[in-house]
Structure 1
Amino acid sequence: MAVRNRRRSAARKRREQRLKAGLIGGGGCLVLLVFFWQIIWPYVVAGSALVGGGAGGWWLWRVNRLVKKRDQRWRREEAVLAGRRSLAKVDAMSGGEFEDFVVELCRRDGCTEVRRVGGSHDDGADVLGRLPDGRRMVIQCKRYSPRSRIPSREIRDLLGSRVHFKADVAVFVTTTYFTGPSERTAVQNGVIAVHRDHLGLWNNGASLLSLGEVNGAGQGDRRHRTRRKETYE
């Protein structure tokens, strides 16, 4: 017990000695600071400014990084949600919502300057923008019943819009299919005809440019390909 008491006493004395040394050192620094304040104050101010500026810069960098991460996460989530839209949900959209949907898909694929221009005086265009390679594009969007068909005259209207807007590429996007003549008109004139089957591919991740490689193909099963030409021309 006596040995333990002596150890505690020695430890307490060491703590007291360190405390006294700290107080003396702190007091000495304070005295020197006051005495030499006229000399060192510019350095103190400059050091404080550097520390403050560094802390502020670090805080701004961190905030910017967090904002970018949140924006990237939001964009990924939006892309996933867009890919999960079924064609049944697309069929339930209004005309304006369908145009917005097409704009989302274009932006997802890296198209730039994409914007809606649809309306009563749209000059045959619903969406304008640039493809990832910089070419100007004009898009016509038609959200029709799957039982309807796109006639040739609507393809011809889009060809006029391509000239009017001085676009390099014309795209016709629809929730239904094209008649035989309208499909041939599109392919022969370089119009990317995105019918219902291709729209499903585009919605599920295929790029807009890749749809140009299968232009004129698809159009559903044999039942879908049976058309009454005199009805739609």
Structure 2
Amino acid sequence: MTVPVHPLRRGGRDRRFDLRATALFFLLLAILLCVLAFVARTAAGIAERRPLWAGALLMSGVAVAVLCRSGRRRFSAAAYARRAARALEEAAETASTSLSVAAADAPVAAPAGTGVAADLPTPAAPAASGRGEEYLPAESTRALTVPLHPGTEERTEWLGVIDYAELDPDGFEQAIADLCVRDACRDVVVEGGPGDLGADVRAVTPDGRRVIIQCKQYCETNKVGSQDMQRFGGTCFTVHEADVAAVVTTSDFTEPALEYARQCGIVCVNGPELRAWTDGTGPSPWERAGIAP
């Protein structure tokens, strides 16, 4: 059986050099360049002789181009406008919902004559001052009016019941400042931060002594070590000129840290002692220094 063989087709036709077509191409190109040069020269002459006309023609061309382009984007602009309107409506609904929730969660004032202020939250941040400025606790942090020590007049207890473990480091420092203000200290300043050189809280006791307190908010398993104590001991008396230097922590101290503190005269207040100071059943750091306030 004979299988027919189809002839293969060539991928393309042979292109031969055509002198006539090439010459015609270069002739047309030369004519086009001459016309462009003539137009450019004429435009330059008009711009030189009559610049106002040239400017008007240029502005007209730009305006026509802008109008043509804006016509193409007309529908896109309308879509953007619809999206903006929907976004504004959603923002208005969100704001209305937030206001309704805030009004429902507003605290209710306590009845008169109960001796207890309104059931208000206890913010840790100061009301009208920042770091490095005189610290005054907010009025909303008041809880009870009780005698803090036997034989003393009744004073407002600012903190009430507070869980120091739930505070952030800044809130813990501000809570210690609240205690100083509650115990009639003046010029209370919350320093804190990288450049405080160990002085987180500064205050002046009622009898005029300068108190420098470093706050260590540690968990129960993390004790304040001797290195922390040595860093504080190197600045509290020489740099800050403290009369009473104290380290207050929510945990405890290691034995080397306590030994260094005894040698340098630094007051150590651990977690239970801090709770006693807060409740009014224990002395303050300057009272622990051995001099009655």
TM-score band (shorter)? 0.5 to 0.7
CA distance in 2, matches of 1:167, 1:196: 23
Partner in structure 2 of residue 115 of structure 1: 189
After superposition, residues 164-179 of structure 1 pair within 5 angstroms as 164-179=239-254
Following TM superposition, by how much is the alpha carbon of 1:212 offset from its aligned partner in structure 2, in angstroms?
A: 3.5
- Give the counterpart letter for 2:177 in structure 1: V
Render the CA deviation track for 1:129-164: whole Å, top value 9, x for unaligned. 112211111110010111101111111111122111
Q: 1:82 aligns with which of 146, 159, 163?
A: 159
Partner residue of 1:155 out of 224, 229, 240: 229
Match of 2:171 in 1: 97
The unaligned stretches of length 5 or more in structure 1 are: 1-72, 214-233
Task: Report the Cα offset of residue 81 of structure 1.
Answer: 5.6
**Alpha-carbon separation, structure 2, partners of 1:175 and 1:96:** 14
- The residue aligned with 1:211 is 288
Identity across aligned pairs (percent)? 33
Alpha-carbon distance between aligned partners in 2 of 1:149 and 1:194, rounded to the nearest angstrom: 12
**For the aligned residues, what is the CA RMSD?**
2.2
Structure 1 segments, 4+ long, off by >2 Å, are: 73-81, 209-213
Q: How does 1:121-200 map to 2 (within 5 A)?
A: 121-162=195-236, 163-200=238-275
Structure 1 contact 105–203 (Cα < 8 Å) conserved: yes
Partner SS state of residue 159, structure 2: helix
Specify the structure having the higher radius of gyration (Cα).
Answer: 2
8 Å contact 1:198–1:211 — kept in the other structure? no
Aligned twin of 2:276: 201
Q: 1:155 to 1:145 in 2, by over 3 A?
A: same
Following the alignment from structure 1 to structure 2, what is the Cα–Cα distance between the partners of residues 145 and 212? 25
